[in-house]
Amino acid sequence: MKALLLKHAEMNAVRELALPAAATSAASEPRLTAVPPPTAPTPWQRISPVLLKVMEVVGPPLLGILLFIGVWALVSASGDRLPGPVKTWDAAVKVFSDPFYQKGPNDQGIGWNILMSLQRVGIGFGMAALVGIPLGFLIGRVKFLNAMFSPIISLLRPVSPLAWLPIGLLVFKAANPAAIWVIFISSIWPMIINTAVGVSRVPQDYLNVAKVLNLSPWKVTTKILLPATLPYILTGVRLSIGVAWLVIVAAEMLTGGVGIGFWVWDEWNNLNVEHILIAIFVVGIVGLLLEQALILIAKRVTHDHPV
Amino acid sequence: MEKFLSIENAGMTFHTKRGKFEALRNVDLAIAQGEFVSLIGHSGCGKSTLLNMVAGLINATDGAILCNNREVRGAGPDRAVVFQNHSLLPWLTCFENVYLAVERVFGVSDSQGKQAESKAQMKARTSAALALVGLTAAEAKYPNEISGGMKQRVGIARALAMEPKVLLMDEPFGALDALTRARLQDELMVILQKTGSTVVMVTHDVDEAVLLSDRIAMMTNGPSATIGQIVSVNLERPRDRLALAADPRYIECRRQVLEFLYQKQLRPAA
């Protein structure tokens, strides 16, 4: 703003200097007076293109959020069950002012709950990646394995994640590993399938290069198959982490302990609806951040090349 | 004539969903060491199929292909291929693309007592190959950062760096504009003069075939295509495209190829 004001002052100075010159030239060449002298842009004219650009980018999302909050406020005002935005905001400020308190196993700060959930997702998803990506690679590369595994994958993939929970509880006899198991089994499919599709779609041209050079299987894998498949693998990873984060809330509601899902269930039992709303926002924001982080990684490691 | 590469009674039958399709039948061609032979014919006549058979990317269903008195089974670095669409790996720099090939050929010891070269030696080979095609400045660039003509030159450098027994080129300049194509043809002639490579090139460009080749094998239309006629281009090297344009021998070769393509093998509905 300071710079703009300065520029405005400079402009005025320039105009003042230019005016006498214009007057003298008009006197000597009267025909030119018919043309209006070029006016310097007013400060508003100078700012408005920038402002318009900013509004174009920020305006629509801002309007959407305002509309959302407006509808929320209206709905909450029409009944007394749902807390409004202001009440929720006040509660959120209180919750986040001390995110890492510990008052016994069932009463811990929101920070601990988020971290615990992230840890479960990390372990379950990490194991799914360790198993799913190599498995997808083999399935995409070996026709026999593809034919062998595709019926099993088609059968198990549509199963609701929570249907796996009893199996986990039965096998592991504890809530925490069961929740991790649910994350594992529900987030493995997108990685297997995307990796397999990616490997099977490696352009024939690249494989011909491998054949002509007579590359060793190791070189074919590291120099051709992996780089060519990387974009597909990362898409699978992104879908998987989305699924994992979706599932963790539901799984924790059932298993208990510390975690954002359990927190929601606990606050429901306390009838603290503000906290449930806060949890919904927290889950949404963390999910968004996870997705954006992976998109960022994907952009970093993949070469933008036309395939 | 000493046969170096010979295609003997080779045939190729594809099994498609609509039954058998015989693309090539009874193809015979013997090529001497250091010779440049072009395969020319209308599109779909199977000239690329024949080249892929020589490369070993597909195996002949009939007859045999011999290279240096050994039957061709599968692809190998002794028969380097310059692909029509360059086929550079986009995640490797130009240098790395060439180095991958050099490393495969010179980085291993073999049973005949050839010693594996050091990394420095192989890097020198790679740089030399890129210098040969005039791309020293683009070594560190990725394929999507250079022009189509430059990509094709990297493809040629990759093939030449392997010091192959036979250089196979599948319409190497087909995707380039006329000016770039002419420049690369001239460069290729200079390079081959130095290396003395044996070359088989697929083309659909009559001028390109006459300019570059020692012999032009002209293929009949498919299905069951074969080599219909062979024209010998008895023009001394080095050849100069401007001087040749008015040379009666050049014009005669050109006429023979055109006559074959447009009178004897004219497609009814091309």
Can you give the pLDDT at residue A101?
Answer: 73
Mean pLDDT of A97-102: 74
- Partner A, chain B 53-92, Cβ-Cβ below 8 Å: 55-57, 74-77, 79-81, 83, 85, 87, 89-92
pLDDT at A304: 55
Q: pLDDT category, B112, cuts 50, 70, 90?
A: confident
State both tokens at A164: 């796996």
Residue B269 pLDDT exceeds 90: no
Are the Cβ atoms of A213 and B90 closer than 8 angstroms?
A: no
Q: Which residue of A has its CA nearest to B77?
A: A213
What type of residue is B118? S
CB-nearest to B90 from A211, A215, A303 is A303
**Mutation site, B84, B91, B92, B96, interface A, largest A CB count within 10 A:** B91
Q: Pick the closest to residue B161 from A213, A20, A191, A113 (CA basis).
A: A213
Q: Tell me if A212 and B104 make a contact (CB, 8 A cut-off).
A: no
Q: Closest approach of chain B CAs to the CA of A232, in angstroms?
A: 15
pLDDT at A97: 76
- Kindly list the residues from chain B whose CB atom is less than 8 angstroms away from the CB atom of residue A304: 144
Q: How far apart are the C-alpha atoms of B41 and B51, rounded to whole Å?
A: 13
Percent of chain A predicted with pLDDT > 70: 83
**Containing H/E element for B16?**
strand B5-16
Sheet with B5-16, side-by-side order of all strands: B19-31, B5-16, B62-67, B70-71
Residue B107 — very low, low, confident or very high, per pLDDT cuts 50/70/90?
confident
Q: Does B14 touch chain A (CB under 8 A)?
A: no
Predicted confidence band of residue A124 (pLDDT cuts 50, 70, 90): very high
A27 token code pair: 């006197």
B235 contacts chain A (CB < 8 A): no
Long-range contacts of B253-262 (CB under 8 A, 24+ apart): B253/B210, B253/B216, B254/B206, B254/B207, B254/B210, B256/B231, B257/B40, B257/B206, B257/B209, B257/B210, B257/B216, B257/B218, B257/B231, B258/B206, B260/B218, B260/B228, B260/B229, B260/B231, B261/B40, B261/B41, B261/B42, B261/B206, B261/B218
How far A122 CA lies from chain B's nearest CA (Å)? 29
User: Is residue A6 over pLDDT 60?
Assistant: no
Query: What is the pLDDT at residue A192?
Result: 93
Residue A15's CB is within 10 A of a number of other CB atoms, namely 13
Give pLDDT tens digits for A32-79. Answer: 555 555 666 677 677 777 888 888 888 888 899 899 888 888 888 887
Predicted confidence (pLDDT) at residue B97 exceeds the cutoff of 80: yes
ipTM of model: 0.84
Put simply, the answer to whether B90 touches A305 (Cβ < 8 Å) is yes
Q: What is the least distance, in Å, from the CA of B42 to any CA of chain A?
A: 23
How many inter-chain contacts (A to B, CB under 8 Å) are there?
57
Nearest to B89 among A223, A304, A306 (CB): A223
pLDDT above 50 (res A5): no
Average pLDDT over residues A8-16: 46
Q: How far is A238 from chain B (nearest CA, A)?
A: 22
Interface of A with B in 191-220 (CB under 8 A): 205-206, 208-209, 211-215, 219
| Amino acid letter, B227 | I
Tell me, what's the pLDDT at A36? 59
The answer to whether the bond into B223 is cis (omega within 30° of 0) is yes
Task: Report the amino acid identity of residue A191.
Answer: M
Give mean pLDDT, residues B193-213: 90
> To the nearest whole number, what is the mean pLDDT of chain B?
88
Q: pTM for the complete prediction?
A: 0.75
Cβ-nearest to B91 among A213, A303, A306: A303
Q: What gap in Å lies between CA A110 and CA A283, rounded to an integer?
A: 11
DSSP conformation class of A82: S
Question: What values do phi and psi take at B36, rounded to 5?
Answer: -115, 110
Alpha carbon A20 to its chain centroid, in Å, reads: 60
Poorest-pLDDT segment among A98-107, B52-61, B140-149: A98-107
Q: Which residues of chain A neighbour B55 with C-beta distances below 8 Å?
A: 212
**Closest listed residue to residue A256, CA positions, set A159, A154, A116, A146:** A116
Count the Cβ atoms, other than its own, within 10 Å of residue A178.
Answer: 21
What is the tens place of the pLDDT at every residue in A75-95? Answer: 888 877 788 887 888 878 877
**Looking at chain A, how many residues does it have?**
307
pLDDT at A26 over 50: no
Are the beta carbons of A84 and A73 closer than 8 angstroms? yes
Torsion angles phi and psi, residue A72, rounded to 5: -60, -45
pLDDT over 50 (residue A28): no
Contact partners, residue A239, CB within 8 Å, separation at least 6: A190, A191, A194
